[in-house]
Structure 1
Amino acid sequence: MLLPNAYRKIIHIDMDAFYASVEQRDNPEYRGKPLVVGGLPEGRGGVVATASYEARKFGIRSAMPSKKALQLCPHALFVRPRFAVYKEVSRHIREIFSRYTDLIEPLSLDEAYLDVTEDKLGIGSAIEIAMQIKKAIKNELQLTASAGVSVNKFVAKIASDINKPDGLKFIGPSAIENFMEQLPVEKFFGVGKVTAEKMKKMGLHTGADLKQLTQDDLVKHFGKTGRFYHQIVRGLDDRPVQPHRETKSMGAEDTFAYDLTETEEMHTELDKIAQTVADRLERYNLKGRTITLKIKYSDFKQITRNQSFTQPIGDVQTLSTTAKQLLLATQPDDVRIRLLGISVSNFGELAPKVKRDDVPEQLKLF
């Protein structure tokens, strides 16, 4: 465990039902009603992006097929997402964060880590800063956020989910070990449904159960992530909040309101994504030698295919043509595609460090 004088002050801010809350704020007729933002149920393969808390009471969750959501709540209201609006709101939220610290690590449009060990205003208390941020978001944007406060990123993120919505939870150093022992395994970083089921079949239901295994045992059963489990169950997470990152790749992706089934539709979307990537590369004066195509199918299976070139490229025509060729090689007939993405990497010489706030968000529906 870190020595007391080495403790960081970490805040994790997570907006409450972000897309749905923005829609309810801007449209009074949606307030207090079960609202679903995402693909419409009459569309092909529509999925839920976000559900309001009124809709969640009926069991509606993100990434759920919209048709199933309608079955769970026949009187739910369905609206398409307005990503341009959400992105602008997100920029305002980041501006609020920056009043207190420059150590901001955005995870998506609606959540971020903040390191306030040394805050700009000399407040000194991470709890007080979290309260002020929540108040500013409510006053300036008429939205609510939940905050988790602790000495590391993992615990702060878990804490922000405990008292949602509009919650604030502090988990101090002396409480971390007991907290981690009681945490269900499905709440651990890297533990999806399949891994959680595997753990439970092994009799591992909580952090306390995981703590009984050695690091070698965890690595044997769960690969390199086992090392992280071994550390975090003991409250150890030294990952810093990273406001800057070396640019190793640059790209864009889109999750569609309905599954794509026609090759022509896929090509049209790839043209749009290629243009976005080309614009971003031009903005940062970057060219790369490797183009990667990302595909996610309706069953959530995900694959990537890439092609490398002898010379750096970044023009929209090469991006689009290459992505279509890579798509064709996957035999896209008789499939349903939920997401497509294009990225460029292998920049060769050291790429510039880019502020996370400056990297355009990749908008996703879940």
Structure 2
Amino acid sequence: MKYIDEFNDPDLARRLLDEIHATVTRPWALMEVCGGQTHTIIRHGIDQLLPDAVELIHGPGCPVCVTPLDVIDKALEIAARPGVIFCSFGDMLRVPGTDRDLFRVKGEGGDVRVVYSPLDALDLARKNPDRQVVFFAIGFETTAPANAMAVHQARRLGLGNFSLLVSHVRVPPAIEAIMTAPECRVQAFLAAGHVCSVMGIAEYPELADRHRVPVVVTGFEPLDILEGIRRAVRQLERGEHRVENAYPRAVREQGNPAALSMLEEVFEVTDRNWRGIGPIPASGWRLSETYRAYDAEHRFDVTGIRTEEPAVCRAGEVLQGLIKPTECEAFGTACTPRTPLGATMVSSEGACAAYHLYRRMPGGPAQRGSRIPREELNTVG
């Protein structure tokens, strides 16, 4: 299958790995931004195949994981109200709020529905004019255009019973926050290809120059990741700090003009709080004044929310790349996919979920510093 099998070729993977091994002369720390990239890395044991000197730090690139607790609690409050149909993608239903999740609200009688597109929620609003339909609009730049289109259509159709609970975040400000943190060890970034397919790469050269870090845009198949690492390591060894597009089959320098136009019309940049990380200036979007009537927070006047994170959960440190999931005392014991303490154990892109799914357990042989032979790894091909 084109663009699948050819990016899982074991012979090409070995050649890329050999070149990385031959290039590295000193320790380097690279951060993959996207949780989808993290899952590819852990699933195929890519981090275990790299030279000991190359460390991959898992970044905050999981939109479910970084949706702030107060927004989750607002979602729970709205979803529990009579007359509301609350729509969400499935991976949000088990994200823990302060004392419950959307599954529990559904079990207690709330009309919570899993949809596959914001346009599905829009269709529900058309078919249920006597109900308020709310779509939980989370995500990075990747999902924002579809959400913008949904509210644009709602306004055009005059659907006064449709609204968005918005928690969109933007990647470049998060990279800025990571690089300016005192404990930062990141020396290069593997940027998220799906984000850049929408936004282009215009925001990254300034970041690369200011912080003197290579930024390589990569895809999500094993060879995509290895090629991104190869390019990043090559730049680091040469003392370079450029933006490279290693995902040209999906990413254009200018991004997607139609999507960008829709985003500019519907959203405006705002400060956002990231769960486990804290506030990051200009790191999110909210509905613009023209579309403010479709903002669920304003429509339902959700106030008085008091949040509390579990004291034992260290998901925030995982999201910042300060620790690996297995370094959290609750990982795999108090915190599992069935009993999650943090969103990183629930989301399909969460680092904790990846480690648990692919059996990276505390003290196990697949942890960094205790390597297992290449032939025993679940490697590409």
Q: Specify if TM > 0.5.
A: no
Q: Which has the higher contact order (CA 8 A, sep 6+)?
A: 2
Please give the range of the TM-score, normalised by the shorter of the 2 chains.
under 0.3
Higher strand share: 1
Q: TM-score, structure 1 length as denominator?
A: 0.25
Greater radius of gyration (CA): 1
